[in-house]
């Protein structure tokens, strides 16, 4: 009897009724995107929805980069190197050198389809199925999703709005480390909390990683967005001292308002890891060539562009913080960086409230889309009453969104 006939006899259902893998069942929907159908439905009704749910900036991308599109002549558009378009890798290396990390070489860098692909590469490269990856909650949701895809257990350590989501002490972090722990992943500045970790906090993580033989994966896609004179302390500061265990994730999405070009970077001085990233990269051939050519122009973006963007985000941060603070029952903290804040609402279930805003509540024909935070926690119950707000709308729209939220909380049937 042929093998497939024998299999069909043993597993008759598998033949007639194939089941998707259990991996699919474990994948959560995105906390930021799952209410999108309700947003679309409200907009169809003619409602103006202030979208604070997704971190896609409304600020214009630098002309210096987009001008590529007017000059573009390549035909046909072929593949480029799996490791990245050389002109993009050169430009990114120059950017990193300007930050002071002149030891980084092109061979320490690999282009990814956004930091999203970098997260998956890092998780697959450092963890076996069944291993543990540590992070702090609330977390960037893809750390959870990518871990589930890789069969890795994400272990989370709660942080709290009470101390603006800064890191817990060494003892608490170390209490979560087991023989299966392979790495700590974190975003700094942080999505969703807006925390910017201090030099001491990063040093603590480096020391814990050294002591327990872990990899450290630092996601720095919001590196420039630090407010009130805070300096960003990059993991790159430790690359030379601990080349074997440091991994950096970066992206063009937020820094240049280019979420749609899907270009990021994974960097490490561990050449064995880089070899693994290359083989993964070869399996997806290459990152979009046009996208990388746009990104390659990053070195022509003047500092004045960032000065303007950072000033704008800071003004928005202030507006959101001071506006929400005046709403009775809301608990809020002053975010230090990125363009997000976590807010505890005076409701029992923030997810239900966010749905109600989109399906039932209108104030002068407007409503607000929020991202319920429950899925950004695995341990703490805090997220049930929290939402993440992305301040990616202009100040006029943000002020209106705050007003809509105030009215909504007054009317919400508790």
Options 80, 116, 153, 278; binder of ligand PLP; rule CB under 6 A:
116
Contact between 327 and ligand PLP (CB under 6 A)? no
How many helices (DSSP H) and strands (DSSP E) are in the chain? 16, 13
- Interface with ligand PLP (CB under 6 A), residue total 13
Tell me, residue by residue from 51 to 70, as one string, x for binding to ligand PLP by CB under 6 A and - for no binding.
Answer: ----x---------------
Q: Which DSSP state fits 165?
A: T
Q: What angle do CA 291, 295, 298 make, to 5 degrees?
A: 165
Q: Which of residues 271-310 bind ligand PLP (CB under 6 A)?
A: none
Residue span binding ligand PLP (CB under 6 A) among the ranges 68-76, 110-118, 121-129, 314-322: 110-118
d(CA 315, CA 336): 12
Residues 203-232, interacting with ligand PLP (CB under 6 A): 219, 221
> Which of 147, 159, 181, 187 forms a contact with ligand PLP (CB under 6 A)?
187
CA-based nearest residue to 332, from 194, 186, 221: 194
Which member of 31, 61, 115, 320 binds ligand PLP (CB under 6 A)? 115
234 near ligand PLP (CB under 6 A): no
Q: How many CB atoms lie within 10 A of CB 103?
A: 13
Terminal-residue alpha carbon distance, the chain: 66
Residue 158 has a CB neighbour count (10 Å cut-off) of 17
By CB under 6 A, what part of segment 374-413 binds ligand PLP?
Answer: none
Length of the chain: 414
Site residues (CB under 6 A) for ligand PLP, limited to 188-207: 191
Nearer of residues 253 and 257 to ligand PLP, judged by Cβ: 253
The CA R_g of the chain, rounded to the nearest whole Å, is 22
251 contacts ligand PLP (rule: CB under 6 A): yes
Judged by phi (left if over 0) then psi (alpha if -120 to 50, else beta), residue 227 lies in beta
Establish if 85 lies at the interface with ligand PLP (CB under 6 A).
no
Dist CA 182 CA 217 (whole Å): 11
* Residues at the site binding ligand PLP, with contacts judged by CB under 6 A: 55, 114-116, 140, 187, 191, 219, 221, 251, 253, 259, 264
């Amino acid at each position: 009897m042929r093998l497939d006939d024998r299999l069909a006899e043993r597993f008759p259902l598998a033949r007639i009724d194939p089941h998707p893998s259990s991996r699919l069942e474990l994948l959560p929907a995105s906390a930021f995107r799952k209410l999108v159908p309700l947003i679309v439905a409200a907009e169809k009704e003619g409602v103006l929805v202030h979208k604070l749910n997704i971190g896609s900036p409304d600020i214009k991308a630098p002309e210096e980069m987009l001008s590529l599109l007017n000059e573009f002549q390549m035909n046909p558009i072929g593949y480029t190197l799996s490791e990245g378009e050389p002109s993009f890798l050169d430009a990114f290396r120059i950017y990193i050198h300007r930050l002071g990390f002149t030891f980084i070489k092109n061979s320490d860098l690999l282009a990814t389809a956004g930091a999203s692909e970098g997260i998956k590469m890092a998780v697959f490269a450092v963890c076996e199925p069944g291993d543990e990856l540590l992070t702090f909650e609330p977390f960037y949701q893809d750390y959870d999703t990518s871990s589930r895809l890789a069969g890795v257990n994400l272990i989370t350590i709660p942080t709290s709005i009470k101390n603006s989501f800064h890191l817990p002490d060494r003892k608490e972090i170390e209490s979560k480390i087991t023989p299966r722990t392979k790495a700590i992943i974190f975003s700094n500045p942080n999505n969703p909390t807006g925390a910017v970790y201090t030099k001491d906090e990063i040093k603590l993580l480096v020391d814990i990683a050294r002591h327990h033989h872990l990899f450290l994966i630092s996601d720095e896609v919001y590196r420039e967005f630090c407010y009130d004179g805070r300096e960003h302390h990059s993991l790159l500061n430790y690359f030379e001292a601990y080349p074997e265990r440091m991994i950096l994730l970066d992206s063009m999405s937020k820094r240049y308002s280019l979420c749609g070009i899907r270009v990021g970077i994974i960097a490490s001085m561990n050449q064995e890891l880089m070899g693994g990233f290359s083989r993964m990269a070869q399996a997806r051939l290459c990152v979009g060539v046009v996208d990388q050519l746009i990104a390659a122009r990053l070195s022509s973006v003047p500092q004045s562009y960032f000065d303007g963007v950072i000033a704008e985000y800071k003004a928005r941060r202030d507006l959101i913080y001071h506006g929400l603070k005046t709403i009775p029952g809301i608990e809020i903290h002053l975010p230090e960086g990125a363009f997000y804040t976590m807010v505890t609402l005076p409701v029992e279930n923030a997810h239900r409230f966010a749905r109600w805003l989109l399906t039932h509540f209108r104030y002068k024909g407007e409503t607000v889309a929020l991202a319920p935070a429950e899925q950004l926690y695995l341990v703490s119950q805090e997220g049930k009453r929290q939402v993440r707000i992305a301040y990616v709308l202009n100040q006029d729209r943000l002020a209106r969104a705050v007003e809509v939220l105030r009215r909504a909380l007054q009317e919400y049937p508790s």
